[in-house]
Amino acid sequence: MTLAWEWHTARDRDRLILHGEIDLSTRDKLATGLRHARSHAVTEVDLHDVTFLDCSGIGVLVAACNTACRSGRAVIVSHPKGIVRFLLEITDVLAYLTIPSRGVTHLATPVSGLAQDAGPAGPRPGDIHEPFHRHPSGR
């Protein structure tokens, strides 16, 4: 999979425009691109031309947003469409990663427990996982 990006600096924000697919093989390239944003308080990540996004890409976006929030900045996504928008919605991070028309005030607190450079996510040894549905008899 491939990912390309280009930078635009506007009057009020940096804009990272992404092209291609974001997955495990391209997440480091995305993280590198996001680390270069420093000239404005807001970095907009334009996903209009992104055709695929997996959980590793979502993790990079959330981690960048968390890091920015801790330093008084904001990283937001714009123009997600199709499967990219759907994945951001079902993982419940779309609202966290976008700006409502009134401004960035909802970005004051990072999401806890999501993609915070703590290593791979997933079950740990000894975790107990309940089934999603139980049989009516309780078995």
The reported pLDDT for the residue numbered 38 is 67
Contacts 24+ apart (CB under 8 A), 111-118: 111/62, 111/65, 111/66, 114/59, 114/62, 114/66, 115/58, 115/59, 115/60, 115/61, 115/62, 115/63, 115/66, 116/63, 116/66, 117/63
Q: Quick: pLDDT tens for 53-80.
A: 999 999 999 999 888 888 888 889 999 9
Whole-number Å distance between alpha carbons of 70 and 38: 14
Mean of the pLDDT values across residues 7-15? 84
> Are 53 and 47 in contact, with CB atoms under 8 Å apart?
yes
DSSP-assigned letter for residue 106? G
Is the pTM of the predicted complex or chain greater than 0.85? no
Question: Which residue is it, tokens 């968390």?
Answer: 66
Show the CA angle centred on residue 14, arms to residues 12 and 20, nearest 5°: 140
Could you tell me where the beta strands, DSSP code E, fall in the chain? 3-9, 14-22, 42-53, 74-78
pLDDT for 74 equals: 87
Instruction: State the average pLDDT over residues 20-29.
Output: 95
